[in-house]
Structures are given as C-alpha cells and as structure tokens.
Amino acid sequence: MNQNSKSQSNPHPKVIPLIREAYKQMTSNPQLCIETSTRALAIAKRYKDPLGKGHALMHIGLGCLHKGELDSALAYFHQAEHIFKETQHLIGLRSVYNNIGVVYHQWNDRDKALEYYGKTLSMEEALPEPRLRINTLNNIGNIHYWAHDFESAHNCFLRALEEADKIDFPYGKSLSLASMGDLLIKQERVDEGLIFLKQAIELRKKTNNIHGLIHDLHSIAGAYMGNNDLQEAETCLEQARSLAKENNYKRLLASILLSYAELYKLRNEQENQIALLEECIGYATAENYRDTAANALRELAQAYEERRELKKALKSYWQYQEIKNYLIDENKNLSIHQLRMQMEVAEREREMALIRKTNLTLEKKNRQINRQQSKLEIADEKLRYWNSELEQRVREEVAKQQQQQQLLIQKSKLESLGRLAAGIAHEINQPLGMISLGIQNLLDQLETGILDIGYIEKKAHYFNENLNRIRKIIEHVRLFSRDQQDDTVAKTDLIEIVQNALSMISLQCKNQSILLDFEHPHRAVYILANKYRVEQVVLNLLSNAQDAIEERFDRFHDQKRIAIYLKSESGKIALRIRDNGVGISEELKQQIFDPFFSTKSENKGTGLGLSICYGIVNDLGGNIACESTLETGTTMTVEFPDLFSGD
C-alpha cells in the first residue's frame, strides 16, 4: 500500500459513528465525549483497527482538553500521533498536530504552539484540508493577538474568514468573525468590532454553538460597557448568564458574573455589585477557578473598603492574597512541569528517531531473509495485541480495586452503626413508650365514658410529635448510612453534627460509665461541608475514644471521661475530642492515618476509620492531628476553615 492510499483509509465501520458522535459532544459535553470515544477505542482494539484506535485516542484527548485537563489531553494526543505516524495517516496526523498546538497555546508556550501549528500547515500541499487549515489560521491568529502583534493576527483572521466563505464552513467562519471582532475592539475600533461579533452570533445560532454564542455575547457586553452604553451591556450580559446557567457552563458563568458586577460598579449600585461578586466567588471557589475568584475578591474588598466595612474588606483582601500566592506557586510548578514534559517528549522523539534509524539498518541487512523477517513482524503484531489486552486488564483490575475500596469504606460506616445499634434503639423506644402510655390513657378515658374531642385532639397531637421524632431518627440513620459519593456540601451547623453523633453513642457510654462533656459556643458554628461525612468523622473519633477508655479501665471505673471542645480560633474552627484512655505510643502515632492500619482486634474494626477521617477532612480544606501519651489519654483535633465568621 502506498503512502497516499494509507492516508485515505478509514477506521472500522463500527468505530466511525462513535467518533462522529464524540466530535459533536466535544464542546457541549466533554465528559460524554470521553466516554463515547472510550467505547470506540474498545471496539477498535477488538477488531485490531489501528486507525480507529488513533481517532478514538485523539477524541478522548479532545474531551480532556475541553474539560481543562491539559496533561491528560497531551498524553492522549501523543499516543494518537504515534499511531498516525506508524500508519502514515496524514489526515489524523494533521489534526493531532493542531490539537497539540492548542494545548501548548493554553499553557502560554506560544513558541511550541506555533511549532505544531506550523507542522499542520506544512502538510497542506501533500494533503489539502481546508477546514483544518481555517482552524489552524484562527489558532495562529490568536497567538499573535495575545502577543500584541495585531497586524499579524488581523492577517490570519482575514485569511481564515475568506477561506471559510469560499467553502461554506459556518463553524470556521464564526470563529474568524468572533476573533476579528475581539481584535478590533482591542484596537478601540468598537463599532467595527461589534459588526463582526453580531455576524458571529448569527452563525453560532445556526450551528448551535452555545459555548461560542455565550463568548460573543460577553465580548459585546464588554464593548458596550467601554462605550458607557450600560443598558445594552446589561441586555447582553443577562442573555449570556441565562445561557451559561441553562447549559451549566460554570467557568463562563463565573466570568460573566464578574463583568455584571463591574456594570453595577459603573452605575454606583454597590449593593448589587457586592451581591454579584459574592455569587461569582461562590461559583469560582467551588470549581477552583482561582483567577476569577482572585479578581472578584479584589473587587469585593475595594467595595467593602469604600463602604467603610473594614473587617469585611480585610477578610476579602486576605483571601485574595492567599489565592494570588497560590497562583504564583502554581505557575512556577506549571512551568517546571511543562519543561519536564517537553524534555520527555523530546527524549521520546529522539528515541523514536533512533529506533527508526536502527530499523532501516536492520532492513538493509536482512533483505535476504524475508521469511524470518515476516515471522518477526507477525510476532511483533501479536506482542502489541497482548500489550493492549494487558493494559485493558490492568484498567479493569484497578476499577475493581477502587470499587472494593469503596465497599470497605461503606462497611466501616455500617460497622459503626452496628456498634451503636443499642443507642439508636433506645432513642426510638423512648417515644414508642410515650405513645404506648398515651394509648393506654385514651383507653382508660374511653372506659370511664368522659372522653371528649379536645382530649382526643391533644393526644393525637402528642402522638404525632413522637411519631415525627421516630421518623427523624430513622431518616437520620438512613441518610448517614447510605453510600454518599456525590459529596454535596452546604452551610451546616457543626454543633448540630456533634450532637447527632452523641445521640447515637451516648447510651453505650452511659452503660460503660463514661462521662460525656460537650463545651461549645452559645450560637451556631457554621462550616461548609457534607454534614453526614463530617458526622462520620466525629462518630469515628468518639468510637475510638470509647475503645481506648474501655481498654484502660474496667467496666465500673468512675474516672472514665470523654470531653468535646468546640471553638473558633485564628480563622479556624477547632473541634477537640479528648479521652483519658490507654493512649498511643510515638511510634504508632506516625501510622494511625494509614489505610488498614489498626491496633484493635479484627472484630473491632477494619483499620479504615482514621484514614477515612483524614480523607474527608482534607477534602474540606481542613486538618486533623493527634496528641497522645501512653496511659494518660489522647486528644484528636480537627480544624475546618472558618468561612462564616462575618455572618
């Protein structure tokens, strides 16, 4: 097969529709794009279809790219590049070069991005592909734009626009129009820029490119704000915000809210400005959009400072500075990471070049032993097939291991509930006893013949209260025991969480003569968390304290005590659980947070309790620490960020 015929071959017929579907999902639903492409990859492997594998890997990378996972995207693109080189598939190779350029562009490594865009354009003569050329020209234009080389950017966008018109390529034309509009507005040619952006919006609507439509509406709003046409700006921002919410584009929504706040600042409507900034910070913080969060915090601090609300202003400035420091460190680490990846890629390319050179030498030397060479090629193909099968099996085993780990975590939670079953039963039996007594009173009144409607209504209300109490207890246990993998967080009272945990363990402690003492502020102490996960932390720590006391003292000893302290200190909320149990040695303290490590017998735990606690607290941005002395006791300290101290 010659080079041209190889470059024009297609993937397996069962792979093609999945690749097309993944391409449609690329911008609207990147995760679904990844899942669809993964299915295509499995089919391509089953049918030993290298082109199908290459296209599937490239589209998995595209899904990662649009999710913002640039490291993963680059890794998948390089795997696809290797396959396309081996099969001499020029169409795929051009596309993957363009995508690698986009990754480096987003990393602000413009030289590397231009290198790969240049590779794409250099293949134009051997394999013309107008649509890919138009996208590449737009990408190169954007690099010149961010480098403030506006003349070069203008030329690229104009060429792309002209070529998109020639071949009737609406998607490429909309990209060019939007980029040209942004460029003209940047050059303070606002009226001309608005014309291009409005034309782009019409094409975005026709091609159902919602992401691009939101971007263009946002750009137009910025232009109107620059011209002090605030009414038109608000109209565009409202349309953009509505579309971003409807389609769950959280990054765009956070950016739009920041611009909306700027509009209210220009109108001197400070209350609305502050409300939108806080909403923006909520989205940006939840999704780790740190640049947007930093800008919003800076604006919020300035607004509070103007209102002379200095405490809030100082808190906002402090949060802003923390994010800026993080971003500086992150940028340094990213630069180091990019350099390392570039070195690895260069090393792989050198290795591949050496392999190709070696293969050529071997081919020349072995022309007279074609039969042996054929056998080696067959063996090599089998080896690749078994390697791919091995990779698939490894992934399956890893997935099984993760599933088993989740089951162990759930088992640990259910074990805790099993140990606390007596306390829960007591909590339910108490209102049941009250209901039973009330029914007996009704029967007594009925026998005497003096039963009236008022008495019946009073008793019915009394029964309903106790039934609601039972229902709440059962609902609390049900919610606590379920497998909560969504990890939904909300503003919740830490005092209530501790009291819920104490309600489930208090009867056991009473039966073991353990005194429970809970000291806390006389107001709610709020944290941002999933309350059932935090309750699992508290319950684990209380159960460990109970076991430590039981190990040190006999059943009827009167000095057994667990003390819980809750207070705010230095921008943190500290929860301390102190026991006078057997304590932990210095050697074992270094291992207590390791998974499956336990000093208890097998029937008392899996060794997952403190490991789970550590993971939950760490996910919430908090810390957990242990202080202990043998034969004296242990203090476990859990710290949460104090996000609501100003409320």
Give tens-digit pLDDT for 407-453: 665 666 666 666 666 556 666 766 787 787 778 777 777 777 767 77
Given a cut of 70, is residue 128 above it in pLDDT? yes
- Give residue-wise pLDDT tens across range 158-183: 988 898 888 888 888 888 899 989 98
Residue 639 has pLDDT above 90, yes or no: yes
- Are residue 622 and residue 543 in the same domain, yes or no? yes
For residues 378-387, give the mean pLDDT.
82
Is 129 domain-assigned? no
Q: Is residue 310 part of a domain?
A: no
Domain end marker among 432, 455, 482: 482
Look up residue 301 and give its two tokens. 């601090």
Per-residue pLDDT reduced to its tens digit, 217-232:
999 998 888 888 899 9
Q: Last residue of a domain, which of 402, 417, 432? A: 417
- Considering the domain architecture, whether residues 28 and 101 belong to the same structural domain is answered as yes
**How far apart (Å, rounded) are the C-alpha atoms in residues 137 and 564?**
65
Exposure class string for 576-595: b at 16+ Cβ within 10 A, else e? bbbbbbbbbeeeeeeebbee
Distance CA 61, CA 56 (A): 9
521 and 445 housed in the same domain? no
Predicted local distance difference test score (pLDDT) of residue 3: 37
Query: pLDDT value at position 332?
Result: 53
Query: How far, in Å, CA of 341 to CA of 75, rounded?
Result: 10
Q: Where are the alpha helices (DSSP H) in 366-522?
A: 370-419, 421-448, 453-481, 494-511
- pLDDT at residue number 574: 93
Q: Cα separations (Å) of 520 from 100, 542, 543?
A: 56, 16, 20
Task: Give alpha helix (H) positions in 482-516.
Answer: 494-511
Q: Widest CA span of the chain, in angstroms?
A: 117
What does the alpha-carbon distance between residue 128 and residue 417 come to, in Å, rounded to a whole number? 67
| pLDDT mean over 339-366 | 67
Buried b (16+ CB within 10 A) or exposed e, 177-191: bbbbbbbbbeeeebe
Is position 621 within any domain?
A: yes
Q: In this predicted structure, which of 16-25, 50-59, 459-468 has the lowest mean pLDDT?
A: 459-468
Say which amino acid occupies 216: D
Instruction: Decide: helix, strand or coil at residue 643.
Output: coil
Q: Clarify whether residues 513 and 581 are in a common domain.
A: yes
pLDDT given at position 251: 79
Spatial CA neighbour of 214 closest among 176, 248, 165, 172: 248
Whether residues 462 and 540 share a domain: the answer is: no
Residue 120's nearest CA partner among 138, 108, 106 is: 138
Q: Residue 496 sits in a domain of what CATH number?
A: 3.30.565.10
Structure tokens given for 333: 């680490």
Same domain, yes or no, for 391 and 428? no
Q: What is the CATH number of the domain that holds 16?
A: 1.25.40.10
User: What are the tokens at 645?
Assistant: 């101290």
100 belongs to a structural domain: yes
Does residue 470 come out as left (phi exceeding 0), alpha (psi in the -120 to 50 range) or beta? alpha
Residue-number span of the structural domain to which 404 is assigned = 372-417
What is the tally of structural domains in the chain?
Answer: 4
Per-residue confidence (pLDDT) for residue 342, from 0 to 100: 56
Asked whether residue 509 carries a pLDDT value surpassing 60, the answer given is: yes
Q: What is the pLDDT of residues 588-622, one digit of tens each?
A: 888 887 776 676 655 555 445 787 788 888 888 89
Domain end call among 482, 504, 523: 482
Pairwise CA distance, residues 252 & 258, whole Å: 10
The neighbouring-strand residues paired with 516 are: 562
For residue 55, the model assigns a pLDDT of: 94
Residue 546 lies in a domain: yes
Residues 6+ apart with CB under 8 A from 340: none
Burial class (CB in 10 A: 0-12, 13-18, 19+), 339: exposed
Same domain, 456 and 528: no
Looking at the domain assignment, is residue 222 inside a domain? Answer: no
| Burial state string for 393-430 with b = 16 or more CB within 10 A and e = fewer than 16 | eeeeeeeeeeeeeeebbbebbebbeebbeebbebbeee
Chain mean position to CA 324: 20
Q: Are 425 and 468 in the same domain?
A: yes
Domain shared by 504 and 428, yes or no: no
Q: Is residue 540 part of a domain?
A: yes
User: Are 63 and 3 found together in one domain?
Assistant: yes
- Given a cut of 90, is residue 638 above it in pLDDT? yes
Same domain? For 459 and 558 the reply is no
Instruction: Give, for 518, the enclosing helix (H) or strand (E).
Output: strand 515-519
**Percent of the chain whose pLDDT exceeds 70:** 83
- When pLDDT is averaged across residues 581-585 and rounded to a whole number, the result is 90
DSSP 484: -
Q: What is the mean pLDDT of residues 196-202?
A: 90
122 is a domain residue? no
Q: In this predicted structure, what is the pLDDT of residue 402? A: 66
pTM: 0.44
| 409 and 522 together in one domain | no
